[in-house]
Structure 1
Amino acid sequence: MFQASRHPVRTPLAALVAIPVAIMLAAGCSAAVEDPVAPPSPTPTDSSSAVRSAEGAGGAEESGTTVTENAREGDPRWRLRGRGAEHEIEGFADRVSVLPGERFRLYVSTTAGRYTARAFRMGWYGGAGARQVWREAGLPGRRQAPPRTIAATGTVTAAHWRPGPEVDTSGWPEGSYLIRLDAASGGRRFVPLTVRSASTRGRLVVVNAVTTWQAYNGWGGRSLYRGPGGFGDRSRAVSFDRPYDASGARLFLDMERAAIELAERQGVPLAYVTSLDLDRDPRVLDGARGLVSLGHDEYWSAGMRRTVEAARDHGTNLAFLGANAVYWRVRFAATPLGPRRLVVCHKDEAEDPGTVLWRATGRPESSLTGPMYDCFPSESAYVVRRPGNWIFEGTGVRRGTTFPGMVGVETDRVGAGVPRPMEVLSVSPVNCGGRATVAHSAYYTVPSGAAVFSSGTMRWVCAMRGARCGHGVTAEAGAFVRRATGNIMRAFAEGPAARRHPARDNLGPLGLAGPPGR
Structure 2
Amino acid sequence: MPGRAVSTAAGPVGGPLSAAGPAGGFDVHAENARPGSDCGLARLGYNHAVEGWLDRASVRPGDSVRLFASTTAASLNASVFRIGWYGGRTCRLVAEAGPFPGRVQTPASRDPKTNTVTTSWQPTTTFDTGGWPPGAYLIRLDDADGFQTYVPLTVRGPTTAGRLVMLSAVTTWQAYNAWGGYSLYHGPKGFDDRARVVSFDRPYDYGDGAADFTGNEAPVIILAEKLGLPVAYATDIDLHADPRLLDGAHAVISMGHDEYYSPAMRDALTRARDHGVNLAFLGANAVYRRIRLGPTASGPDRLETAYKVATEDPLYGVNDSAVTANWPAPPAAAPESALTGGMYQCNPVHADLVIQDPAHWLFAGTGVTAGTRISGMVGSEYDRVDLSYPTPSRIEVLAHSPVVCHGRLDHADISYYTADSGAGVFDSGTSAWVCAVTDVCGPGATGPAVRNFATTVTTTLLTTFAQGPAGRLHPGGRSVPADDAGAPGPNTGNER
Q: Same fold judged by TM-score > 0.5?
A: yes
Aligned equivalent of 2:39, options 68, 74, 78? 78
Superposed, 1:167-206 pairs within 5 Å as 167-206=127-166
Pair 1:369 & 2:340 matched: yes
Residue 314 of structure 2 is aligned to residue 342 of structure 1? no
In 2, distance between residues paired with 1:358 and 1:299? 10
Runs of 5+ unmatched residues, structure 1: 1-59
Aligned to 2:114: 153
Q: Which residue of 1 aligns with 2:6?
A: none
Deviation at 1:511, TM superposition (A): 4.4
Paired position in structure 1 for 2:398: 425
Q: Residue 391 in 1 paired to residue 351 in 2?
A: no
Distance 1:89 1:446 in 2: 48
**Cα distance between partner residues in 1 of 2:350 and 2:441:** 16
Map of 1:125 onto structure 2: 86
What is the CA-CA distance between 1:113 and the residue it aligns to? Answer: 1.3
Q: For residues 433 and 24 of structure 2, what CA distance do their matches in structure 1 show?
A: 25
Counterpart in 1 of 2:489? none
Residue 227 of structure 2: aligned partner: 266
Question: How many angstroms does 1:513 deviate by?
Answer: 4.4
Alignment pair present for 1:92 and 2:53: yes
Q: What displacement does 1:63 show? A: 8.2
Task: Work out the CA distance in 1 between the residues paired with 2:136 and 2:26.
Answer: 18
| 1:377–1:409 Cα contact (<8 Å) kept | yes
- Identical amino acids, percent of aligned pairs: 50
SS in 1 for 2:381: strand
* Corresponding position of 2:17: none
Deviation at 1:62, TM superposition (A): 13
Aligned position for 2:172: 212
| Partner Cα distance (2:356, 2:189) in 1 | 45
Over 3 Å counting, the alpha-carbon distance change for 1:64 and 1:328 in structure 2 is closer
Q: Is the 8 A contact 2:273 2:423 kept in 1?
A: yes
Structure with greater helix share of residues: 1
The one-letter amino acid paired with 1:402 is R
Match of 2:437 among 464, 471, 478: 464
- Which of 17, 20, 27 is the matching residue for 1:65? 27
Question: How far apart are 1:221 and its partner, in Å?
Answer: 0.4
Give yes or no for the alignment of 1:406 onto 2:368. Answer: no
Q: Is 1:510 matched up with 2:485? A: no
Tell me which residue corresponds to 1:138: 99
Matched position secondary structure for 1:368: helix
User: What code does the residue aligned with 1:283 have?
Assistant: R
1:501 correspondence with 2:461: no
Counterpart of 1:367 in 2: which secondary structure? helix
CA distance in 1, matches of 2:287, 2:216: 16
In structure 2, what is the Cα distance between the partners aligned to 1:182 and 1:419? 49
**Offset of residue 90 of structure 1:** 0.4
Structure 2's unaligned 5+ residue stretches are 1-21, 317-322, 487-496
Q: What's the offset of the Cα at 1:468?
A: 6.2
- Give the number of aligned pairs: 452
1:225 lines up with 2:197 in the alignment: no
Partners of 1:451 and 1:498 within 8 A in 2: yes
* Separation in 2, partners of 1:64, 1:285: 17
Amino acid at match of 2:191: F
The 8 Å contact of residues 403 and 473 in structure 1, kept in 2 or not, is answered as no
Post-superposition shift, 1:81? 1.8
Matched, 1:164 2:129: no
Alpha-carbon separation, structure 1, partners of 2:176 and 2:404: 25
Please report how far the alpha carbon of residue 126 of structure 1 lies from its aligned counterpart in structure 2 after TM superposition.
Answer: 2.7
TM-score (norm 2): 0.89
Q: In the alignment, does 2:318 pair up with 1:357?
A: no
Residues 1:243 and 2:203 aligned together: yes
Following superposition, the deviation at residue 387 of structure 1 comes to 0.9
Distance in 1 separating the partners of 2:383 and 2:25 = 33
Counterpart secondary structure, 1:250: coil
The structure showing larger relative contact order (alpha-carbon pairs under 8 Å, at least 6 residues apart) is 1
SS at match of 1:123: strand
Following TM superposition, by how much is the alpha carbon of 1:407 offset from its aligned partner in structure 2, in angstroms? 0.5
2:432–2:441 contact (8 Å) kept in structure 1: no
Instruction: For residue 328 of structure 2, give the secondary structure of its aligned residue in structure 1.
Output: helix
Instruction: Note the alpha carbon deviations across 1:412-443, whole angstroms, 9 max, x for none.
Output: 00101310111100011101121111100000
Amino acid at match of 2:238: D
The answer on whether the counterparts of 1:62 and 1:267 sit within 8 Å (CA) in structure 2 is no
SS for the counterpart of 1:222 is coil
How does the TM-score come out when normalised to structure 1?
0.85
- Cα shift at 1:106: 0.4
> Cα gap change, 1:464/1:271 in structure 2, threshold over 3 Å: closer, same or farther?
same
CA distance in 2, matches of 1:97, 1:374: 32
Contact 2:55 2:67 in 1 (8 A): yes
2:457 alignment partner, SS class? helix
Shift of 1:266: 1.5
Are 2:177 and 2:211, in contact at CA under 8 Å, matched by a contact in 1?
no
Distance 1:388 1:215, change over 3 A: same
Cα RMSD of the aligned pairs, angstroms, is 1.7
1:439 and 2:439 correspond: no
Q: Are positions 1:303 and 2:275 aligned together?
A: no
Distance (whole Å) between structure 1 residues aligned to residue 442 and residue 279 of structure 2: 25
For the Cα contact (< 8 Å) 2:283–2:432, is it kept in 1?
Answer: yes
What secondary structure, in the 3-state scheme, does the structure 1 residue paired with 2:286 have? coil
Determine if contact 1:112/1:141 at 8 Å carries over to the other structure. yes
Matched AA of 1:380:
A
Separation in 1 of the partners of 2:405 and 2:46?
A: 38
Contact 1:63 1:268 (C-alpha < 8 Å) held by counterparts: no
CA contact (8 A) 2:82 2:137 kept: yes
Return the alpha-carbon distance in structure 2 between the equivalents of residues 372 and 173 of structure 1.
37
1:359 counterpart SS class: coil
Are residues 510 and 61 of structure 1, via their aligned partners in 2, closer, same or farther at CA, if it must alter by over 3 Å? farther
Task: Mark the CA change 1:387 to 1:64 in structure 2 (over 3 Å): closer, same or farther.
Answer: farther
Given that 2:25 and 2:157 are in contact with CA atoms closer than 8 Å, whether structure 1 keeps it comes out as: no
Displacement, 1:283? 0.2
Structure 1 runs of 4+ with >3 Å offset: 60-64, 467-472, 509-514
State the Cα distance separating 1:471 from its structure 2 match: 3.2
Residues 472 and 511 of structure 1: CA distance in aligned 2, closer, same or farther (over 3 Å) = closer
